[in-house]
């Protein structure tokens, strides 16, 4: 089995892994019910301290007791008792944003698949590539040569081998970068799911502490961090839609160059450069989500995650590019040497001396 087919088989279930993470979150939600009793206990003690301090202060100052602030512990206690239902409502509201952005990415991905198939058909239909793409055309070209023309027949075989090496190398690099691109999005979603599970499980405890005097900010901090983390997926979907739109534009450019008979090497290189940019760009998603809903204490985490993830992505891309360049260079040198040896042994006046005219797409 070729490496290209392995990469294609691995990239197929990447999108389904996002659904797996969603199912994981839903299965872990019942764990928050185990923390409700602890949250109630903390909230009850906090309510006693909170109400006693407010009432004692009013009595000591000979002021009437303000009842409205005393309702806060009861409201938070009601939220703790109905915490799973509160999470479902919150996830339902925020989930609409994720679904809307996910539909945009799905449409762009369908366009990419259609344009790839169209590009492959046009490449196979090019006259200079037909003899290498079609086995029947290759056999017909081989039969047209003299049986004693060993050099010309060998040169034809080597030309086809060189064409396959160049084509498969570009396909390998493109699929490898696309796999890394999907993996970067999956890393963001995995860390997001982990944070949401932790916040959901400890939510009742955070709400219980929010009743205690001096810990009132715990409630707003929990809400801001939960919303901020939940928005990672919509932001990643928007970024993925932008990258997918760029891919559609690059594929359209490739198709235009194929129809005009131009060289596709520069276009393929630009396509792969945008994929490297996309891999690094996914690690800026947490910082961008902080622009929508600011969560105190998350800036340092997202900044470290962005710098480490971006450095790892760029290092991996440069390492893969260097290794792939060495492999391609060695393969090209071997193929060129074999073609040169075959042509030097070709009888003068045969087709094998016409020169190498392969323009691999």
Tokens, residue 188? 């963001």
**Residue-level pLDDT at 309:** 54
Percent share of the chain, pLDDT over 70: 66
Judged on CB neighbours under 10 Å (0-12, 13-18, 19+), 42 is buried
Residue 200: pLDDT band (50, 70, 90) is very high
- DSSP one-letter code for 346: S
Least confident of 136-145, 150-159, 323-332: 323-332
The answer, yes or no, to whether residue 148 has pLDDT greater than 60, is no
User: Each residue of 43-96: pLDDT tens digit?
Assistant: 889 888 888 888 887 888 778 877 787 888 899 999 999 998 999 999 999 988
**Residue-level pLDDT at 229:** 93
3-11 and 150-201 helices, crossing angle to 10°: 30
Mean of the per-residue pLDDT values of the chain = 74
**Residue-level pLDDT at 1:** 41
3-state secondary structure 272-306: HHHHHHHHHHHHHHHHHHHHHCCCCCCHHHHHHHH
Burial 278-289 (b: 16+ CB within 10 A, else e): bbbbbbbbbebb
Tokens, residue 120? 């492959």
User: Each residue of 269-288: pLDDT tens digit?
Assistant: 777 888 888 888 888 898 88
């Amino acid at each position: 089995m070729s490496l290209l087919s392995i990469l294609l088989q691995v990239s197929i279930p990447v999108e389904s892994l996002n659904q797996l993470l969603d199912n994981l979150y839903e299965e872990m939600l019942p764990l928050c019910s185990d923390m409700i009793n602890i949250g109630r206990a903390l909230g009850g003690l906090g309510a006693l301290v909170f109400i006693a301090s407010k009432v004692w202060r009013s009595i000591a100052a000979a002021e009437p007791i303000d009842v409205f602030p005393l309702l806060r512990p009861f409201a938070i206690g009601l939220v703790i008792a109905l915490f799973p239902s509160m999470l479902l409502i919150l996830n339902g509201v925020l989930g609409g944003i994720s679904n809307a952005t996910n539909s945009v990415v799905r449409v762009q991905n369908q366009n990419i698949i259609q344009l790839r198939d169209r590009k492959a058909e046009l490449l196979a239909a090019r006259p200079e590539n037909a003899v290498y793409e079609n086995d029947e055309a290759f056999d017909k070209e081989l039969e047209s040569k003299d049986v004693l023309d060993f050099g010309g027949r060998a040169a034809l075989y080597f030309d086809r081998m060189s064409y396959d090496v160049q084509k498969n190398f570009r396909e390998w690099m493109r699929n490898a970068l696309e796999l890394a691109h999907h993996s970067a999005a999956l890393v963001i979603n995995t860390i997001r799911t982990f944070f949401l599970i932790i916040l959901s499980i400890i939510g009742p405890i955070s709400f219980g502490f929010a009743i205690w005097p001096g810990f009132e900010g715990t409630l707003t901090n929990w809400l801001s961090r939960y919303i901020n983390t939940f928005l990672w997926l919509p932001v990643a979907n928007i970024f993925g839609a932008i990258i997918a739109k760029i891919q559609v534009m690059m594929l359209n450019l490739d198709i235009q160059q194929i129809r005009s008979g131009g060289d596709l090497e520069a276009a393929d290189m630009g396509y792969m450069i945008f994929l490297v940019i996309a891999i690094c760009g996914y690690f800026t998603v947490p910082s961008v989500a902080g622009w929508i809903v600011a969560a105190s204490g998350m800036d340092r985490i997202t900044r470290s995650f962005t710098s480490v993830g971006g450095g790892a992505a760029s290092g991996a891309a440069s390492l893969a590019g260097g290794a792939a360049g060495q492999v391609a260079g060695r393969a090209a040198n071997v193929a060129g040497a074999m073609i040169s040896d075959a042509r030097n042994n070709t009888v003068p006046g045969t087709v094998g001396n016409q020169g190498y005219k392969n323009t691999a797409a």
